[in-house]
Amino acid sequence: MPDPIDFNEVDTELTQNREGFEAPWPGDKSMPQWDTAGLGDAPKFTLKKWAGMLGPGLILGGAAIGGGEWLVGPEVTAKYGGALLWLATLSIVGQVLYNLEISRYTLYSGEPIFTGKFRSRPGKKFWMPVYMALDLGSIFPYLALTAAIPLFAALAGIVPDPEDHSKMQTIMGIELSHYFWLRAMGVGIFTLSLVPLIFGGKILVALKWVMGLKIILVLGFLLVLAIGWSSWSTWVEIGSGFFKVGTVPTILAEDVNMNGELDPNENDWDGDLVADVIEPTFTNTDIPIIIDFNLQDDIPPAPVPFVVVWDTSSEPHQLLGFDIPDYLGIDAGYYPIVRHSDGSGFIDIDGDGERDGDQVTNVFTSLATGDGMPDIDWTLIAALSALVAISGSGGLTNTTISNYTRDEGWGMGRHVGAIPSMVRGLDLQLSHQGAVFDPTAPGAMPRWKRWYKHIMRDQWVVWAPACFIGLALPSMLSVEFLDRGAAVPDKWVAATMTAEGVRDRVNGVVTTDNPAKMTEEALAAQEANEGGLGNAFWFMTVFCGFLVLAPSMSTSADGVIRRWVDVFWTTSDRLRDLPPGAIKAVYFRVLIVYALLGLVTLVSIKPATLLKIAAAIYNYALGISCLHTLYVNRSLLPRQLQARTSMQIALFLAGLFFLFIGCVSSLKQLGII
């Protein structure tokens, strides 16, 4: 029968394990047994010392700021406003729970959670290929290539075409195609992101400086925009959007009674003062297409063929639009189309260049009012999945929290060591196995509780707010400065789209949601107001996009490298024969392999493909990792150190949430839904 737990305080620097205490050896016996040591006390929190107590939350919080929103946010928030940000709330809260539980393992053992996962049954030989597959998305340096686009725009003053080999641009006296410029810049950003990992002394400290500077510059500029040029209604929309649980995208007509006018009971969703109908979409194979301008009326859908222009050989030369008959609910006549590069497009009924019919509705409200389950529009499920996947950190990126917790020397991490950089690295060593304490030792449990409060403070006060602010401020850009319902043709140039909106607002240019209705005088006034201070803000907005994406490449690279360095350091029999000081050489060799793989993907894979692969894997990886962490802590930690039942249930539900989002996205990609 175990000795009773002593909850009294002790005055010694470390708790004294009871006589005869031996480290447990659960799970895979091919992994080395833990060492034993005493538990030191957590630092006392004071307002004067708060900056010095910032830990892993600062690094990954800084990395999280804006990344997901800059990449996929405008595709969602410009179209639906802030109403779908509740999905990001669930993602961030779920990741906080996950971060706390992986840190729980590290506080007890001094090992990162990845090592603990390989200790759990059925053992390292099973988990090695599983996690290599789940971590595949982290190998793709999509942040470097996406950061190249705002950098190109800032230097050249134009929006690049990432895949165009024919468009040429001269920068600093060198003329290259857009394609090669972006590849070259991506390689340069990727290479520079590795510098802090090689020359930074203690890598953790170097990354703190990088992320601290990013937070100050990015949030400072965005706050200037928010205070000076955004409206209160935008902030209400964004703030409430984080809590609108159950809101889903749907397809609805604003002109419910199809009379061509906005009636008092009809919702002008996009704010263009036009009673919009559902503008039909088509793909490059939909000829003819089935048209239904209002899903709620009694007018049956009908097929309508394209209007085409014929060339001299009696072959169709160009698809122009549609002749709409008078029995479909709108005025009969010819209506043009807006066509995308892949051949898809929509019929532009009101001539504003934006597809109308997209709205949101709340599932719970719809059920409560007797309207039944709404028809969910799955068109943007891939973008929503990516927003969930990248909000916060996403994928296995979060596991680095436990590595940094160890490197900070928190909990039992003080007995294990840290990873130094290769050049100018401190005289640091890293043990091949963790060290555990006796939870029944005098004073151990009070100290354990203080350590857990310490990591809770780091997560709830630093990391989570950084994630929410990092979503809210870039969302402000797309909601405030892009028209509601605006189509983002290419997520890689989304930051430059918002920059143009910022320039117009700063210059006092009054734009309309429907340029087709602008007079020649209004268009001339708009052109006359371009330039001045607005151009400076255009540059700062674009460059801010670069600052959001580029520094995060350092933390992303360090995360994937140290995850596997720690695993190899403990699981490999050959590496365990090396002295603890050899860890810097192992880290450097893995860094070289990662750099080579990253360079190959940068020059050979399209940026859109990089993000699509990463986002698809991220949700599955995080979902499985949540469930596996729950299993690790229940099987490897002493019962008195395990999370309470409510916390375990919450982590289980978080894992199911990420797996559900991943599955829905996959089903959409496969054309099943």
Position 191 scores a pLDDT of 92
pLDDT tens per residue, range 487-528? 665 555 565 677 888 888 888 766 554 444 445 555 555 555
Position 200 scores a pLDDT of 56
Position 515 scores a pLDDT of 46
518 burial via Cβ count (<10 Å: 0-12, 13-18, 19+): middle
CA separation for the pair 197, 191 (Å, rounded): 11
Q: Is pLDDT at 404 greater than 80 in this prediction?
A: yes
Q: Is pLDDT at 572 greater than 80 in this prediction?
A: yes
CA separation for the pair 445, 451 (Å, rounded): 10
Residue 189: both structure tokens together: 């950003």
Position 259 scores a pLDDT of 84
The CATH code belonging to domain 35-160+171-229+383-669 is: 1.20.1740
What is the percent of the chain with per-residue pLDDT over 70, rounded to a whole number?
80
Residue whose structure tokens are 């390989």: 118
5 pLDDT band (50/70/90 cuts)?
A: low
pLDDT tens per residue, range 75-124? 778 788 888 999 989 999 999 999 999 999 999 999 999 999 999 999 99
CA separation for the pair 501, 514 (Å, rounded): 15
Of the given ranges (2-6, 456-460, 541-545), which has the lowest mean pLDDT? 2-6
Close Cβ partners of 122 (under 8 Å, ≥ 6 residues apart): 28
3-state SS, one letter per residue, for 175-230: EEEHHHHHHHHHHHHHHHHCHHHHHCCEHHHHHHHHHHHHHHHHHHHHHHHHHHHC
Position 493 scores a pLDDT of 58
* Angle between helices 142-156 and 67-80 in degrees, nearest 10: 70
290 pLDDT band (50/70/90 cuts)?
A: confident
Q: Is pLDDT at 66 greater than 60 in this prediction?
A: no
CA separation for the pair 115, 399 (Å, rounded): 10
**Overall average pLDDT of the 556-578 stretch:** 90
Of the given ranges (182-186, 188-192, 552-556), which has the lowest mean pLDDT? 552-556
CA separation for the pair 512, 264 (Å, rounded): 22
pLDDT tens per residue, range 641-661? 999 999 999 999 999 999 998
Position 34 scores a pLDDT of 96
Residue 201: both structure tokens together: 């002394």
Which CA distances in Å does 329 have to 257, 306, 523? Answer: 9, 19, 32
Position 2 scores a pLDDT of 46
Handedness of CA 659, 81, 354, 221 (dihedral sign): negative
Which CA distances in Å does 292 have to 45, 141, 295, 304, 357? Answer: 62, 43, 6, 10, 11
Position 297 scores a pLDDT of 79
What are the residue ranges of CATH 1.20.1740 in the chain? 35-160+171-229+383-669
Work out the mean pLDDT of the chain and round it to a whole number.
Answer: 81
CA separation for the pair 534, 542 (Å, rounded): 12
Of the given ranges (7-11, 321-325, 376-380), which has the lowest mean pLDDT? 7-11
Q: Are strands 316-324 and 435-436 parallel, antiparallel or unpaired?
A: unpaired
User: Taking Cα atoms as reference points, which of 67, 150, 168 lies closest to residue 538?
Assistant: 150
pLDDT tens per residue, range 583-626? 888 988 999 999 998 898 888 766 666 666 777 788 899 999 99
Which CA distances in Å does 371 have to 167, 246, 267, 367, 599? Answer: 52, 15, 17, 6, 53
**Overall average pLDDT of the 453-470 stretch:** 86
What is the percent of the chain with per-residue pLDDT over 90, rounded to a whole number?
27
CA separation for the pair 668, 658 (Å, rounded): 16
